[in-house]
Amino acid sequence: MIMLRKGLLLIIVLGSTCLSYAQVYVSPSSYVFVNNELLFVKQDVVLASTAGNEGNIFLRRNGQLLQGVAGSTVNSGGGRISVFQEGTSDNYDYNYWCSPVGSIASGQESFLGNVNGNVNNLFYRAVDITNSTAATILPWGSYDGQANPLSISSRWLWKFINGTTYSQWVHVGNGQPIAPGEGFTMKGTAGTDANNVDGIVANNPGSQQRIDFRGRPNDGNIIIPCLVGQQTLTGNPYPSAIDLSYFLLDNTACSGTAQFWEQDKTVNSHTLANYKGGYGTFSPAATLSQVTAGTAGMGIYTPAIFYSYDSGGNQGPIASTPGNQYKRRFSPIGQGFLITGASVGVVTMRNQYRVFVKKGAANNSEFERNVTPETLANVNATTTSYNPDVAELAFPVVLSVSGIDYTTESIRPQPQVRMNTLIDNQGVRQSVIGFHPEATDGIDRGMDAISSDDGLPSDMFFVIDDKEYIINMVAFDENKRLPLGFKNTAPANYKITVQEIINADEVENVYLHDKVNNLYYDIKNGVHELNLPAGINKTGYEITFKRDSNLGLGENIKNSFQVYQNNSEHALQVSNPMALDLSAIVLYDVVGKVIFEKKKLGNNTSYSFPTANLSDGIYIVKMVTTDNQEISKKIIIKN
């Protein structure tokens, strides 16, 4: 046990030091300061208080608290822990949160264990490195929170427990309790707050409102009830990061995947019908035994497809703004996400999932944004990104309650094929074929991810057991055929292409097979366009890794086309030495949008098209012959 009375214990970075104690007692008017380091406590934390004087713990610059109790917590006292987290939204947009602390009410000082949160005394504005002032919770009629002085609109504070429809959101903005492990929505603030705490970064330089969570630290087993097929907003409930893959795979009462809200932050409106957003999906893409052996990898994340809503919360037309790619393996402090029940029972958040991982993309721990100035200043130099030409090991700085040896983790991404489907020239549905030796052709929990967007008017998906999935994990076999489905309430246009193939050298080709007409389209190197009538089609198309050898344009003819970008002349050059009669040449970007289309080109042996006005990047050139044969090539334009 460490006991602190009338003084200060300062914990700072000392190499990769991990300070560990069986129990921590902080007396009134004393505090523990954890700076860019881990404080590990095997048992309970007692933050004593008397006559308004508190014992406190301050977690700063990615400082984190991990506790090792294997069951229920016995944390106690009227003192508080203080931990920062920054949002990523302004006053018009939501973040999903999960509080790392509970609110200590008068008379609860001697109560043992976790306590409920309450929005009326949970959020604070940092004044300096240790002092904060309580945020003002604005009434229902006030739409916009403000950065300075910090005020939060109660209108946008909601939780969601075992629901399937928009009407099942529960308002918590007027002081209703938020139990440990219950996630909640909260919009950001208007304006900025230039107050700079500890020389790191302003409290809010714009759409990055810092929240100082103050209260009793959550610890131990936290129960989250679940029902089959129903979703619950939960998240990381601790003042430390968690291993999200471990949590999802260890709790069999949930589906084994998690959904994260993303929103188009260029839409400045509080009217639901103007919102554009959706849910990205994270799959561990691994087995539980891989996690506990420290070999699970980074998982797979598919960005949200953005869509609009009507006044009842129903999904409407797809929006043109795409979602973003985030690293989700380790959930940072305060991160909220949705889980789906797989059986009637409970999901339990446990200390064994807790890890010391600093937030940031480089550490696979993002709170819906790229690395912040604070993270850049404190990221450990031993953290690396994937490079196939260097060592395979990663996460050497991960310290865990479970004792998992993360130094055996490979930084190689999960082998995968990422596909983009542009729907009606608006939103992009990104779907992933992942490869795992233990995956089956059926539904694999913690690997395959079902679509959470079942109300979309138009969508593309993998068909597994007649259900709609956006991540399909299989054991690679060149002869495998993966059913692809489409649904649209009105006639719709789909443009399908492979965005990239990652860490899967065995995948030499990817084709879209039209089973009705027995035609194969190369989507690894090109874009194929479908125009489908209204309805649901789950049987007409599939993805294959090879095609029948006697079908399609001969390879010698296909290879005769030479396509290249002449960057010095800012022109796309197409050579047609066999003088094939071309009905069209189409240039696409990597998501399938048409940049230009030239028709009725005849049988010239060469063509040139100006590209000086195009942005640098990868593009796809598709040549279409008059007998409807397609030849596609990828080029790089650099002006």
Same domain, 208 and 262: yes
Is residue 376 a part of any domain in this protein?
A: no
pLDDT at residue 377, rounded to an integer: 31
- β-partners of residue 631 are 623
The stretch 302-311 carries a mean pLDDT of 79
pLDDT at residue 457, rounded to an integer: 84
| Longest distance between any two alpha carbons in the chain, whole Å | 92
Is residue 39 a part of any domain in this protein?
A: yes
**Lowest mean pLDDT segment, chosen from 143-157, 365-379, 502-516:** 365-379
Same domain, 80 and 118: yes
Is residue 615 a part of any domain in this protein?
A: yes
Is residue 287 a part of any domain in this protein?
A: yes
Same domain, 538 and 602: no
Domain count, the chain: 3
Is residue 116 a part of any domain in this protein?
A: yes
Same domain, 562 and 537: no
Would you say 249 and 214 are in contact if contact means Cβ atoms under 8 Å apart? Answer: no
Same domain, 88 and 207: yes
pLDDT at 82 over 90: yes
Q: What band does 336 get if pLDDT is binned at 50, 70 and 90?
A: very high
Average pLDDT over the chain reads 87
Token pair in block for residue 371: 């690395």
pTM tops 0.75: yes
Q: Final residue of a domain: which of 522, 544, 566?
A: 544
Same domain, 151 and 276: yes
Name 430's Cβ contacts closer than 8 Å, sequence gap at least 6.
Answer: 302, 303, 305, 322, 323, 418, 419, 420, 421, 470, 499
Measured between alpha carbons, how far is 625 from 584 in angstroms, rounded to an integer? 7
Is residue 18 a part of any domain in this protein?
A: no
Is residue 535 a part of any domain in this protein?
A: yes
Name 222's Cβ contacts closer than 8 Å, sequence gap at least 6.
Answer: 114, 180, 181, 237, 348, 349, 350
Token pair in block for residue 440: 């089956």
Is residue 12 a part of any domain in this protein?
A: no
Q: CATH number of the domain at 605, please.
A: 2.60.40.3080
Same domain, 445 and 575: no
Q: 554-578: per-residue pLDDT in tens?
A: 667 777 888 988 888 889 999 998 8
Same domain, 107 and 158: yes
Same domain, 311 and 166: yes
Same domain, 535 and 579: no
The stretch 287-292 carries a mean pLDDT of 95
Q: Final residue of a domain: which of 512, 544, 576?
A: 544
pLDDT at residue 178, rounded to an integer: 96
Between these two residues, 105 and 320, which has the higher pLDDT value? 105
Domain limits for position 427 = 413-544
The stretch 6-32 carries a mean pLDDT of 63
Same domain, 306 and 449: no
Same domain, 339 and 290: yes
Nearest-CA neighbor of 481 among 433, 438, 444? Answer: 433
pLDDT at residue 455, rounded to an integer: 75
Q: Final residue of a domain: which of 544, 559, 577?
A: 544
CA–CA distances in Å: residue 124 to residues 112, 131, 143: 24, 9, 19
Name 149's Cβ contacts closer than 8 Å, sequence gap at least 6.
Answer: 125, 133, 136
